[in-house]
Chains A and B, each alone.
Chain A
Amino acid sequence: MPQQVSVFAENRPGKIDRLTAVLEKNNINIRAITISDSGDYGIIKLLLDKPVEGCNALKEEGIAATLKSIVAVKVSDRPGGLHKASSVLARNDINVEDAYGFTIRESDLAVFVFQVKDAQKTEKILREEGFTVLNDNELYYL
């Protein structure tokens, strides 16, 4: 199951710079990044090609970081593409806690990445509905 790294950051200039410096030094590539803001502080979520190494490298630098399981599902890159997947989630009463999406270069596919309470169950439901759910390496090296 794929994972992303969640990082705690104070809401001040220079906080992203500190993270990216650590990742660069450790030769870790960022595939996607989101930042959610809660006023005084924010949570930076990083999709990395080497999430475990990345998380450890950040922790060693004294940064509060943790790994979170995610679900990554392929959807078609056209109107209604995401809707097909979100309908399945809705029917199965699965709450998406945190999500982002991106398209894949030179293809008609997109990836929807999200956090849920029970990632394993969600993956199983999506597979049964005919969706392609990406495993770690498929996602990290898209």
Chain B
Amino acid sequence: MFWNEKIETIDRADLNKLQLEKLKKALEAAASTPFYKKLFNDNGVDVSKVTTLEHLKDLPFTTKHDLRLSYPDGMVAVPRTDIVRLHASSGTTGKSTVIFYTWKDLSDWADLIARSMMATGTTKDDVFQNMMGYGLFTGGLGLHYGAERLGCLVIPSSTGNSLKQMELMKDFSTTVIHITPSYAMHLVEVIKENGVNPHDLSVKKAYLGAEPYSEGVKKKIEEQWGLEAYNSYGLSEMNGPGVAFECVHKNGMHLWEDFYIMEIINPETGENLPDGEEGELVLTHINRAAMPIIRYRTRDLTRIMPEKCACGRTHRRIERIKGRTDDMLIVGGVNVFPSQIETVLMNVPEVGNNYQIVLDRHNNLDRIHVRVELYSKMFEGDIKALDALKKKIVERLKALITVNPKIEFLEPGSLPPSTGKAVRVIDKREI
């Protein structure tokens, strides 16, 4: 089943031609933005000289740091009046990474999602319950509009409130869910506790995303729910979800090459690697007018699977994401950098410079513990003052990283000394 058979099964030669045309346009648009104008100038890049796809690898990379530097709109290539939406993810130093979209960008994105969903066999007859966060995060709204484009009945139930989720599933015969793997594991337990056999529900498919998980967890979710789970890949810099999606054969994710040019590089040297070799995924967005991004370093490790897929789609697949080349943590679907937590702690005068971040899972939900040593200078002698300090730290962290950490005070000297490469993050979660 195809949403757009012509483009999904396009001949490779024609696809390359299309990519080159779109790349030229994207480069021209990028060169008009303050950020890329300077980047191209500094690196002696003349975009009019890019005449083959091969030339792309001579262009400089774009990083998350660049996106922060160009905050709020240094990479915008269209007049402000043409922009109809923005999405944002939290940034390492307090500034967010913001992505802008024109009406057509959003419409094209919805199309891409509809294409992805249909590749898994979902049609307009399906009832789609979207249990991802709505808001600045791209996961909720991204799939929402794509499912509407496809013609599904969309239930925008967002995150949390498990009993309500269950009720909606039962009352409206939900057939497809979009959910983080950790919440899927949690929700299925709630359903069982309420005397419902998950296999009796009409849910047949789950789109898992927003956080890393193993094939083992995926299998477990499939068994416990009695459904087929599909891996999806996306990042807000490249729109959000729908960059790559598994088809019904569930063997790697088709990366939609009419929207994105993918490269795999050696993360240390920046050199391009041949298809099939594992490295860092680099993406160029060639289908977004408001904000073209050239050679974006995703920090995600994967490899390209160049073999033909039995589904007939010619867009190459990438393997499930193996890990990251930076220290980014994903907690309950939210991206968190340890440096963000450190910035907050260092700005609370009572707190020493020794801290530790511990991640674990309770009832299948991610928890983040921030362990801080308590010194005499910050100790006022009673529980009330400690509770107030705790609250202050939690509120500041919540404001910056939107997750709710548990603060633990420790006696001085409990943590390894902060010199050198102290292990600041302990991840006890089983992936």
Contacts and interface: CB of A to CB of B under 8 A. Distances in A.
Interface of A: 6, 8-10, 15, 36, 38, 40-41, 43, 59, 62-68, 97-98, 115
Q: Which of A15, A63, A97 has the most CB of B within 10 A?
A: A63
Given A8-B411, A10-B411, A40-B408, A66 B383 contact: no
Interface stretch (B207-215, B219-227, B373-381): B373-381
B412 interface: yes
A23 B142 CA distance: 63
Contacts of B381: 6, 43, 66-68
A63 B381 CA distance: 12
B409 A65 contact: no
A66 B386 contact: no
A41 B386 contact: yes
B171 interface: no
A9 B376 CA distance: 12
Interface string B360-397: 00000000000000111011111110110000000000
A62 B379 CA distance: 13
Interface of B: 374-376, 378-384, 386-387, 408-414
Contacts of B375: 64
A40 B409 contact: yes
Given A8-B374, A10-B409, A66-B376, 9 more contacts: A8-B409, A40-B409, A41-B386, A43-B382, A43-B383, A64-B376, A65-B379, A68-B382, A98-B382
Nearest to B379: A64
A64 B374 contact: yes
A10 B410 contact: yes
Contacts of B386: 8, 38, 41, 43
Contact of A8 (B379, B384, B387, B413): B379
B382 A6 contact: yes
Contacts of A63: 376, 411-412
A64 B387 contact: no
16 contacts: A8-B379, A10-B409, A10-B410, A10-B411, A38-B386, A38-B387, A62-B413, A63-B376, A64-B374, A64-B376, A64-B411, A66-B376, A67-B381, A68-B382, A97-B382, A97-B384
Q: Which of B387, B412, B413 has the most CB of A within 10 A?
A: B412
Contacts of A15: 411
A97 B380 CA distance: 14
Given A8-B374, A59-B376, A64 B383 contact: no
Contacts of A40: 408-409
Contacts of A97: 382, 384
Contacts of B374: 8, 64
Contact of B380 (A41, A59, A66): A66
Contact of A41 (B378, B384, B409): B409
Contacts of B378: 64
A41 B406 CA distance: 13
Contacts of B410: 10
A68 B385 CA distance: 13
A63 B377 CA distance: 11
Contacts of A59: 376
A42 to B, nearest CB: 8
Nearest to A37: B383
Contacts of A36: 383
Contacts of B411: 8-10, 15, 62-64
A98 to B, nearest CB: 7
A66 B379 contact: yes
B221 to A, nearest CB: 33
A114 to B, nearest CB: 12
A109 to B, nearest CB: 27
Nearest to B378: A64
A5 to B, nearest CB: 8
A63 B374 CA distance: 9
Contacts of A98: 382
A39 to B, nearest CB: 10
Contacts of A65: 376, 379
